[in-house]
Amino acid sequence: QVHLVQSGADVKKPGASVKVSCKASGHTSPAFGISWVRQAPGQGLEWMGWIGTYSDKINFAQKFQGRLTMTIDTSTTTAYMELRSLRSDDTAVYYCARGRAVAERYTMDVWGQGTTVSVSS
Amino acid sequence: DIQLTQSPSSLSASVGDRVTITCRASHSINVFLNWYQQKPGEAPALLIYSSSSLSSGVPPRFSGSGSGTGFTLTISSLQPEDFATYYCQQTFSTPTFGPGTRVDI
């Protein structure tokens, strides 16, 4: 069974960048890729983007184009999400989640525990 | 982007009740519709994928149906552990989530 373990909470100032890690352990299947989803306090879920396991394919939500970088280090089975030019409305819990199957990459069946990112001056 | 709406936004129910939540898409999405359950302080969990397929380990009291623009999630007999927020998600195009339906007592 796959587990996704994310890095700890972080506090950033406006304009800074944050990088969140997501390490897969257990029986990892390499072909499903990783999505990143965020949830602002008291709000719903927002899909940010997806990266294929070999970093050969990437898809972003339009609103994050230019600010979001996703990478995967296959040697350590760790995915990374970096968000730049942070604003106060980027304060949220950030989740990584695994795609269910090759043909269902955006259907997320394994989730990390979430990383709280707070943006405040 | 394809927009999803959910109704109701919240509901109060009792253990043993039959509960139905509706999700509507702004454009046809075939059956590319998933349902997630999220409990307070926890990550979401996949319940239903491809409109009607039960995710591994999910109790059979959960069921999903629909195609095109209209979908439903049904809980046949509400259990105490089912009090949570439910989100639909479309994967027909760039993924989007519905706003959620909170189910409480």
pLDDT digits (tens, 9 = 90+) for B66-104: 999 999 999 999 999 999 999 999 999 999 999 999 999
User: What is the per-residue pLDDT for B77?
Assistant: 96
Percent of chain A residues topping a pLDDT of 70: 96
On whether any CB of chain B is under 8 Å from the CB of A118, the answer is: no
pLDDT average, residue stretch B40-54: 97
Task: Output the six-digit token pair for B18.
Answer: 């039959």
Query: In this complex, do B95 and A47 lie within 8 Å of one another by their Cβ atoms?
Result: yes
pLDDT tens digit sequence for A78-110? 999 999 999 999 999 999 999 988 788 999 999
Percent of chain B residues topping a pLDDT of 70: 100
User: What is the per-residue pLDDT for A55?
Assistant: 76
Going by C-beta distance under 8 Å and a sequence separation of 6 or more, which residues neighbour residue A26?
A1, A2, A3
Query: In this complex, do B43 and A112 lie within 8 Å of one another by their Cβ atoms?
Result: yes
